[in-house]
Amino acid sequence: MPPLQPLLGSSPSNRHAPVTVCIIGTGNKGTTYTSFALQHPQLMKVVAVVSPVDFRRNILSERLELPSDRVFCDWRELASLPKIADAVLITSTDSSIEEVSIVFAQKKYHILLEEPQAIDLGRCQAVVEAAAKNSVIFSVGNTIRYKPCNRTLKKMLDSGSIGEIMSIQHIEKVGFQSIPHLNIRRRKDTSLSLVSKSIDGIDLVSWLMDSPCRKVSAFGSLFQGGNRKSENPFVYSEIYSNPIVIRESEWTPYLSGIVNVEIADAGLTMGDSCSYASPLETEVCDSHIVNMEFDEGKTCSFTMISGSSQTSRMTRIFGTLGELECDGNVIKHFDFLTRRSELIRPDINAAGEAVENDGDYGLIEEFLENIRWGRGQWGREHGFEELRSRMYALAAEQARASGSVVNIDDCRSKWFGDRMEVC
């Protein structure tokens, strides 16, 4: 893998000028990045928008007041032009991310790629290598580590507040509304639920542990649908037309019209249920437990479950000198030496107000800062971290399918050959 060179020549000529970007894909993340640009014009300026969906494209282009020659239906139209921005924010569909990323890396755009769900490690590796070869900053939108609670957890762990980490217990409650939506997408692409719903959680655990994972075992099953006698009680029409479900859903601002487009693309009707028959479709698990062993005997128990009323995460970290527990809003710290407990609220700013869009905004701010100052090593490390997280997820799927304990070193040698740098 060739080392990245300093990116000063690719950085904005004026470090006080906003970084210019093109947004490819105008769904949830595209809308979030648009809002960030409008709220922080001194940091980022959107100069072009790409989306095949008319109403999404029109809404964002109107908000940004873009001229018609900077609004595109297809990313290839943008790629055919000379370079018009410092970076591209790619939030498009899974099927095109490899080609889109490589093309824009070759055109020397810095790249922020929204959590690619393609399970083919070869495709992911091709994207990382294209970024390295063309000396551009590359980042993946795993925003969970940028949330205030998780940043605070990391600082406390690095400071030795609970001594040496012994074990981590992480629970991802993806919510009962998520699985029907995932299964619509499953009809269209090749994403496993562990990758599409929990790759950022696996990335978080690896980041907090700060040591390589060596072995994994896993168990999982599909309860809502699949080859079971009981059919999923939620059909798509009920999930996405029920005002109570929509009001409580994390996708509330984006559901109107968008889900119908995905259903139509999948060749389904609004009355289709989640009961599938083919083996390929039942590879989606809505209940997953992954056991991970890291260096020095450190362990992690990772659970993903859809049978929950809320979408939330819970992380418990057990150390030799203390214990940390985080529910995404509050951190509880217990010190074994003093026998004292402390509650910490990182999600509250200095003014006592709740921080919103913290993960997304934290990621984009760091991405822009590294472009501005030409920190190429940051992008290189993010690429390898993404490959590691995906390798762990796919090794877990292999362990689940085979009913065995999988050695990560064997997977690394099989999937990456002599590219030892990946781990």
Q: Is the pLDDT of residue 189 over 50?
A: no
Helices 121-133 and 97-106, interaxial angle, to 10°? 10
Residue 145 banded pLDDT, cuts 50, 70, 90: confident
**Which single residue is written with the structure tokens 């907090």?**
208
Q: Is the pLDDT of residue 356 over 90?
A: no
Q: What contacts 24+ positions apart, CB below 8 Å, involve 91-97? A: 91/23, 91/24, 91/25, 91/26, 91/27, 91/28, 91/29, 91/30, 91/33, 91/141, 92/24, 92/25, 92/50, 93/25, 93/189, 94/118, 94/185, 94/189, 94/190, 94/191, 95/188, 95/189, 97/127
Q: What is the mean pLDDT of residues 37-54?
A: 94
Q: Is the dihedral of CA 193, 199, 204, 210 positive or negative?
A: positive
Rounded Cα gap, residues 182 and 195, in angstroms = 11
For residue range 234-269, list pLDDT tens digits in order.
Answer: 444 444 444 444 444 444 444 434 444 443 444 444
Q: What is residue 305's predicted lDDT score, i.e. its pLDDT?
A: 82
| Three-point CA angle 89, 91, 95, nearest 5° | 125
Q: What is residue 408's predicted lDDT score, i.e. its pLDDT?
A: 93
Q: What is the mean pLDDT of residues 270-292?
A: 55
Residue 93 banded pLDDT, cuts 50, 70, 90: low
Beta strands in 4-160 (DSSP E): 19-24, 44-50, 71-72, 87-90, 110-113, 138-140
Q: Which domains does the chain have, with CATH numbers?
A: 19-140 (3.40.50.720), 145-226+283-356+380-416 (3.30.360.10)
Better pLDDT: 106 or 346? 106
Global confidence as pTM: 0.78
